[in-house]
Structure 1
Amino acid sequence: MSKDKTKPAATGHPDKDGARRTRNAAATRERILAVASKEFATRGYDGARIDAIVARCKISKNLVYHYFASKEALFIEVMERAYGAMRERQNELSLSGEDPVADMRELVVKTVQHFIDQPDFIQLLSTENLHKAAHIRKSRIIPEMFNPLRNALHDILEQGKRKGVFRQDADWIDLYVSISGLGSYSLSNRYTLSYVLDVDLGAKERVANRVKHVAEMVTSYLCDVKGGAKS
């Protein structure tokens, strides 16, 4: 009589094992991006070292290059991650759609607060500007990430013009540059300004007042309807 050659049923769970490996890979990738963000923000693109990222992540260099083809590829994804965080903040906007002044104030506050909450973002932008945006130009998704903010700003501005509460000559591009500048300058120059002005610009109360101040400056400019009246 021949022996039964039927193999015993597998006891493992390939689907679960595969899902676990996927989660672990995603976690490792995110860890690399988080550490790399700090490295690039602190040392700039040229000064950042893959070896430093490897040491802090406690992984092999080969694993970094398994997920990211090069230092530049890693930096581009760091920038995409940073812009993605800003897009998520914009998604939190609670716009009424009825009151353009209140909606603009909300947009300004959220934008400035993002700069405050994500200081590495400002430093990453600084190092990328030194390279004349050479790296983010290679990203296909960063422009798309900026679209929601651009559209929201444009729509609020145009609604305010139609209702006669915003000046007609206001330009959304100039407006965004002003919001970004007013919101980030005191942060990117915090230490030198704190020294020469003999004040701690990082103090909690000072930061909170700054957010209100920027929002008031922007809305006061926009609501100066006579100042924007066509002759």
Structure 2
Amino acid sequence: MDWIEISGNWILVPRNPIGIIHFLGGAFVATAPHLTYRLLLESLAGKGFMVIATPFVNTLDHVAIAKQVLRNFERALIRLEERSLLPSGYLPIYGVGHSMGCKLHLLIGSLCDVERAGNILISYNNYAARDAIPLIQQFNSQLSSNFNVEFTPSPLETNQIIQSSYKVRRNLLIKFTNDTLDQSLGLTELLNQLFAEMVTTQTLTGNHLTPLGQDVKWQAGKDFNPFDALGQWFKQEIYRDLHQLKRTINLWLNPLSSL
């Protein structure tokens, strides 16, 4: 199964797909999601989900980004249908986001008319610009007190938008034990007020970069030695947390998969 590029999206098309994943990555690593999140996304395709990963460049206007990635996603669906790569009939669409990608899916689910079977929100991040980008804080300090650079919407405005307008009922929130950037706790409280019985939270071992787990190549020597053992241990440690993430996502998407 090879990646194809359609309308600015990177796409994996399995045989006889059972659903569609719209993936949005974190700030600064979202420009090439088919590379930075390759192992995670290819594992989802291996379970039968068509993966449409939409790159984006981070700016201060997160509403504009959310609407643009949605337009690109919808264009991809049209092109896939034209190429007869999209099966006829209903396929559930799930949003999967990491870090800033979560915020974008939340904005899409609040401000846009979309139909989603659910959202998977990994390591949700809703920091203010001054906390997310140190350069902006330096820039703000040079300006008058009447002017301040901030994301649109701000963290508070984002929470208000979610509380008043978010329409995606089924949600999985995933946080990691060693993730100081995660803000899933506050989001969980918001979503529980809206759809209490439809919100699932999972805490897994790992950190903010776990979803970006990459394929570590370690070629053992002719004679196995302690360095080879160390290399294999290191590789297993990296993969362990990523495998746990894959299993958690797959079980939520397809509860019968473990039977």
Q: TM-score scaled by structure 2?
A: 0.23
Q: TM-score scaled by structure 1?
A: 0.25
Greater helix share, structure number = 1
Bigger-Rg structure (1/2): 1
Relative CO higher for 1 or 2, CA cutoff 8 Å, sep ≥ 6? 1
Greater strand share, structure number = 2
